[in-house]
Amino acid sequence: MLPDFPALSLPLTSLRVGRPRALGTAGAAEPLAREWTSAIHKDPVSAPVWLAPLNLDGDEQADLRNHGGPDQALCAYPGTHYAYWSAQLGRELGPGSFGENLTIGGAITEAEVCLGDVFSFGEARVQISQPRSPCWKIARRWQQPLFSRWLQETGFTGWYLRVLQPGHVAPTDRLVLQSRPHPEWPLTRVNAAKYEQRHDLDLVAELAACPALGEQWRRKMQGRLSGALPLNDDANRLVGPNAG
């Protein structure tokens, strides 16, 4: 368990926004080369930008069934993971490579932040709502069919934040921890409850009951508890149309 309220100030390496665009090649035989639509390519902003309850000004999602909404207003990714992924892929990856809005600087990872952490961010206040669930689009962007699964297996997923108070934010702003209501839930434990320890239904029930958990993840946990969803329901999300 992490301290209830450590001094934590997260610098940004990059602040980015992007709108959906058509990618790939229509009619391509290879699934990873086929046409698809995504806002995974995001451009850096250099000036203050308005953070609304659903997203940053200039940022959108292509798939509103699985992305976006109040619990996924911002996507953050720890920049410290980029050296690992660059070595794994044999190519240089840098800020924005996973379609994140916020690339977190320093050595902060999923182990140092908790579900429900509240941060001041410029004029805004934001709260960690859930880890990111890697999907097939990351694999397609980098033309590596196993990439999304690797993200899940390592736990290097990044996370989503909801907006508690809208306001202007800038790439020079830091996320400064204001409260930590759930120190028992570092994001490494949240990911473990969904992926590694999914058969521990007591742990799943504990996570489902956490009031800070985003609704998407809560429904998943409740579905597992009721038997309405299988304990392992990752295949379609991780592979999707990349399987051809």
Whether 244 has a pLDDT exceeding 80, the answer reads no
Q: Domains, the chain, ranges and CATH?
A: 9-243 (2.40.33.20)
For residue range 196-210, list pLDDT tens digits in order: 999 999 999 999 999
Confidence class of residue 235 from pLDDT cuts 50, 70 and 90? confident
Query: Tokens 């962007």 map to which residue?
Result: 141
Q: What are phi and psi of 26, to 5 degrees?
A: -60, 135
pLDDT in tens, 43-83: 999 999 999 999 999 999 988 777 889 999 999 999 999 99
**81-116 per-position pLDDT tens digit:** 999 999 999 999 999 999 999 999 999 999 999 999
The 10s digit of each residue's pLDDT in 11-46 is 999 999 999 999 999 989 999 999 999 999 999 999
In sequence order, which residues have a C-beta less than 8 Å from that of residue 196 and are 6 or more positions away? none
Q: Choose among 45, 46, 41: nearest CA to 19.
A: 41
Tokens linked to 205: 């029930």
Contact partners, residue 208, CB within 8 Å, separation at least 6? 218, 221, 222, 225
Question: Cα-Cα-Cα-Cα dihedral of 23, 24, 26, 27, to 10°?
Answer: -160
Dig out the tokens for 74 from the structure. Answer: 């911002």
Q: Is a pLDDT exceeding 90 seen at residue 3?
A: no
Structure tokens given for 129:
């709502």
pLDDT digits (tens, 9 = 90+) for 160-197: 999 999 999 999 999 999 999 999 999 999 999 999 99
Mean pLDDT of the chain: 95
Tokens (6 digits) for 59: 């940022």
What's the pTM value of the predicted model, to 2 decimals?
Answer: 0.96
Residue 4: band (very low, low, confident or very high) from pLDDT cuts 50, 70, 90: confident
Asked if residue 10 lies in contact with residue 108, where contact means CB atoms within 8 angstroms, the answer is: yes
**What pLDDT is stored for residue 13 in this prediction?**
97
